[in-house]
C-alpha cells in the first residue's frame, strides 16, 4: 500500500507545482472564460425555453383562430336556420305556401343546425337541443293539422269548381229561356227547359250548402291552428333568443344578455298582439260571411 501511495503523492505534488507556476493572468482569463461559458449555456437554455414557449403560444393562437373560424363557418348559417325554423312553423298556417317549400326550408334549417354539434360547447348544445325539442313538437302538431287543412281545402276547391260549372249550366238555361220568349217555341220545349231549370236550382243549392260547410270546417281548423300557434310559439321564440345569446358567447361577441332578451321579449309580445288582432279580424269576417249567407 505504501508503495502505491508514494508515486501518487509525487504525482500530485508535481501537478500542484505546475498549477503554482501558472501566472495569475492566465488563471483570471480561464476563470473569465469559464464564467462566460456558464453564462452562454444558461442564456442558450433560457432562449430555448422562450422560443419553445413562443412556439407553443403561436400554435395555441393558430388553433384558437382555426376553431373560431370553424365556429363562424358553422354558426353563421345556424343564425339563418333559427329564422327558418320560425318561418317553417308560421307558414304551416298559410294554405298558399306549398308543402314542398315548407319541407325544403325545414330540411335546410336542420342541416345547418346539425353542424353545431361538432364545434359547440355544452351550453350551446343544451340551448339548441331545447329549441329543437320545442320547435319540433309544435311543428309536428301543426303538420298533422295542416294535412287535414289541405285535404279540406282540396274539397273546397273541388266544390267551387262544381258550383262554377253548375252556374254556367244555369246561365245556358237562362239563354234558352230568353231565346224561347223572343222567338217562340212549343209548350213542350218550355216544359223541358223549366224541368232542367228546377233540377239546376236544386243541384246548385246543394252544391252551395256543401261548399259553405267545407269552408266553415276549413275556417274552424285554421282558427284551431292559430290558437295552438299563439299558445306555443312564444316559448319557441324565447328559446330561439336564448340560443342566439349562447351563439354570441361562443363567437366571443359582446352581449348584454338582459338587454338582448328584453328586446326579444318585446318583439314576441308585439308579434303576439298583431296575431291576436289578425285573428279577431278574420273571425269577424267569418261571422259576417255566415250572416250574409243566411
70-103 pLDDT per residue, tens: 566 767 777 788 888 888 988 998 888 899 999 8
Half-sphere exposure of 69 (CA within 13 A, CB side): 6
User: Above 60 in pLDDT, residue 146?
Assistant: yes
Instruction: Provide the pLDDT for residue 122.
Output: 85
- More confident call, 128 vs 12: 128
Give the angle subtended at the CA of 114 by the CAs of 124 and 252, to the nearest 5°. Answer: 35
Q: What is the DSSP letter of 92?
A: G
- Mean pLDDT across 147-172: 94
Going by C-alpha positions, the residue among 157, 288, 141, 163 that lies closest to residue 221 is: 141
> Best-predicted range by mean pLDDT among 34-48, 53-67, 127-141?
127-141
User: Above 60 in pLDDT, residue 224?
Assistant: yes
Q: How far apart are CA 290 and CA 292, in angstroms?
A: 6
- Mean pLDDT across 48-77: 60
**At which residue does the C-alpha cell 289541405 appear?**
150
Torsional sign, CA 250, 252, 258, 261: negative
- Mean pLDDT across 139-158: 93
Q: How far apart are CA 81 and CA 226, in angstroms?
A: 23
Domain ranges of the chain: 45-293
State the average pLDDT for the chain.
Answer: 77
**At which residue does the C-alpha cell 281545402 appear?**
153
Rg (CA), the chain: 45
Which pLDDT band, with edges at 50, 70 and 90, does 12 fall under?
A: low
Please list, in sequence order, all residues whose beta carbon lies within 8 angstroms of the beta carbon of residue 263, skipping any fewer than 6 positions away: none
pTM: 0.65
Which pLDDT band, with edges at 50, 70 and 90, does 3 fall under?
A: very low
Q: How far apart are CA 260 and CA 244, in angstroms?
A: 9
User: Above 60 in pLDDT, residue 194?
Assistant: yes
- Mean pLDDT across 202-211: 94
C-alpha grid cell, residue 23: 501566472
User: Above 80 in pLDDT, residue 62?
Assistant: no
Per-residue DSSP letters for 109-134?
HHHHHHTHHHH--HHHHHHHHHHHHH
Q: How far apart are CA 88 and CA 109, in angstroms?
A: 9
Phi, psi at 276, each rounded to 5°: -65, -40
- More confident call, 163 vs 254: 163
**CB of 75 within 8 A of CB of 247?**
yes
Amino acid at each position: 500500500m505504501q508503495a502505491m501511495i508514494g508515486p501518487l503523492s509525487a504525482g500530485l505534488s508535481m501537478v500542484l507545482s505546475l498549477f503554482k507556476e501558472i501566472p495569475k493572468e492566465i488563471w483570471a482569463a480561464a476563470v473569465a472564460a469559464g464564467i462566460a461559458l456558464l453564462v452562454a449555456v444558461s442564456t442558450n437554455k433560457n432562449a430555448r425555453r422562450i422560443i419553445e414557449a413562443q412556439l407553443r403560444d403561436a400554435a395555441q393562437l393558430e388553433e384558437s383562430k382555426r376553431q373560431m373560424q370553424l365556429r363562424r363557418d358553422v354558426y353563421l348559417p345556424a343564425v339563418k336556420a333559427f329564422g327558418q325554423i320560425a318561418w317553417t312553423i308560421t307558414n304551416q298556417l298559410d294554405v298558399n305556401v306549398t308543402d314542398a317549400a315548407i319541407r325544403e326550408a325545414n330540411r335546410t334549417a336542420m342541416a345547418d343546425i346539425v353542424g353545431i354539434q361538432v364545434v359547440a360547447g355544452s351550453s350551446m348544445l343544451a340551448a339548441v337541443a331545447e329549441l329543437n325539442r320545442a320547435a319540433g313538437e309544435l311543428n309536428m302538431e301543426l303538420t298533422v293539422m295542416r294535412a287535414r287543412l289541405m285535404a279540406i281545402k282540396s274539397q273546397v276547391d273541388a266544390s267551387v269548381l262544381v258550383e262554377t260549372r253548375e252556374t254556367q249550366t244555369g246561365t245556358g238555361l237562362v239563354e234558352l229561356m230568353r231565346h224561347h220568349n223572343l222567338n217562340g217555341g212549343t209548350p213542350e220545349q218550355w216544359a223541358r227547359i223549366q224541368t232542367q231549370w228546377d233540377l239546376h236550382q236544386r243541384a246548385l243549392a246543394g252544391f252551395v250548402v256543401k261548399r259553405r260547410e267545407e269552408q266553415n270546417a276549413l275556417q274552424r281548423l285554421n282558427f284551431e291552428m292559430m290558437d295552438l300557434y299563439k299558445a306555443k310559439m312564444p316559448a319557441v321564440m324565447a328559446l330561439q333568443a336564448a340560443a342566439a345569446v349562447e351563439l354570441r358567447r361562443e363567437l366571443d361577441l359582446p352581449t348584454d344578455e338582459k338587454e338582448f332578451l328584453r328586446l326579444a321579449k318585446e318583439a314576441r309580445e308585439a308579434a303576439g298582439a298583431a296575431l291576436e288582432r289578425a285573428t279577431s279580424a278574420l273571425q269577424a269576417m267569418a261571422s259576417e260571411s255566415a250572416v250574409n249567407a243566411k
